[in-house]
Amino acid sequence: MALAPVYVISSDEPFLKNEKSSMLIQMARKELPEAEFMLFTNNDFSSGATANLARLENELIDPGLFGGDRIIKIYLDSINSTTVQVLQLLAKRSRPGVVCVVEIPRIKKTTLPTAPEKYTDKFRGQSSVETKLKHVLAFLMDIGGINEILYAPSGVQFSQWISKQAQKHGLSVAPEVISFLSLCCEGNLVAVDQFFSIAKISGKTNIDLETAKAYLESSSRYTGFEFSEAVLAPNTQRALNILASLCQTNTNRTQILSMVVSNFDKMLWVMRKLKEPENIQILKSRNFKERAAFFKSYGIVLPSTSDVILRAAQTMPQDFYDYLVTELAQAAKYLQEFDDKKAYQSLQNMAVSVYTSAVRELKKL
């Protein structure tokens, strides 16, 4: 299967985006074994009206005889002018030997173009960001790019997703287990996949109802969320102990660290959303149902986790938050490169940075 030059993955569900992009990157590695992997986030582009695209454009320019295969992953957490400019550059500079995977928030179905358009540097009139985005996605379609919206499954679709996810992990799951997980996890894709990952690592192949209940009801098991909670609490020693315990008791370290990174990414994303004007009331709300509904919409159902996020959103300095986002992105990059050791070190840095600002200061040098 020939790879497209650009993949744009749109969704509000981080797990689905990460799963899809990881699959595409693995495919790209097989086709371009000598390619250099690169990661870009919003922090790599200026936040003004004109994005700073110099570094990205430099990687897209054909290096001639010196070899320039690239696999580029780009995280964009907003639909704005920067997103439009980045995608427009990809449409303009696409070349053989470069595969780009771009993750963006969910867009309207009507924003997907129905037909390709030839590239142009200029847009007619004072178009909205959404209109410009539709044109840029049409430019990408014209060069063979693929634009896809991923929707979080619900109801019957969620039960079907649970069944398929079990098959991906090579597990046999009884129908009553699927019903139980569908009810208890309530659309929390990370929780379901985390359960299957740990079940597989522990050597189980047939999952019965008692196993599922024991996992979900256990209060002593360390999870990726507990590491994130300890970092944000903040509690350096507990965070380090959790991280060490996770990696010492499981043989598949890549899988465990990916789970930790995914869960931490979700918590940082929710912290960001809490600071948006339309969500400020959640920070002050004493209405449990209102708060629970907000966190549930982002796949967080445990009160202990939501409480930690609320406190951190109110008290954490912006420079600390920016540091955690950058360091977590670095850990994700190392995992994409199958470098577990460096990913582990990045997570350790995050835990230690709670205790001393020296770790964050070193990153600035």
pLDDT in tens, 351-365: 888 765 544 444 443
| Residue in the block written with tokens 């550059």 | 89
Q: Which pLDDT score, from 0 to 100, does residue 364 have?
A: 45
Q: Which pLDDT score, from 0 to 100, does residue 92 have?
A: 92
Average pLDDT for runs of 10 along the chain of length 365: 89 88 92 89 74 84 71 90 92 90 92 91 74 93 95 89 92 87 76 83 82 64 71 85 74 79 89 86 76 80 81 88 91 87 90 64 44
pTM > 0.95:
no
CATH of domain 153-221: 1.10.8.60
Give φ, ψ of 211 to 5 degrees: -65, -45
Q: Which pLDDT score, from 0 to 100, does residue 250 have?
A: 56
- Inter-residue contact 305 to 267 (CB < 8 Å): yes
In CATH, the architecture of 222-365 is: Up-down Bundle (1.20)
Q: Do domains 153-221 and 222-365 have the same CATH topology?
A: no
Domain regions of the chain by residue span: 6-149, 153-221, 222-365
Q: Which of 104, 25, 90, 36 is nearest to 60 (CA)?
A: 90
pLDDT in tens, 78-119: 888 889 999 999 999 988 889 999 999 999 999 999 899 999
Q: Which of 214, 219, 233, 220 is nearest to 305 (CA)?
A: 233
Q: Which of 78, 84, 73 is nearest to 134 (CA)?
A: 84
Q: Which two tokens stand for residue 355?
A: 């205790």
Query: Hey, what CATH topology would domain 6-149 get?
Result: Rossmann fold (3.40.50)
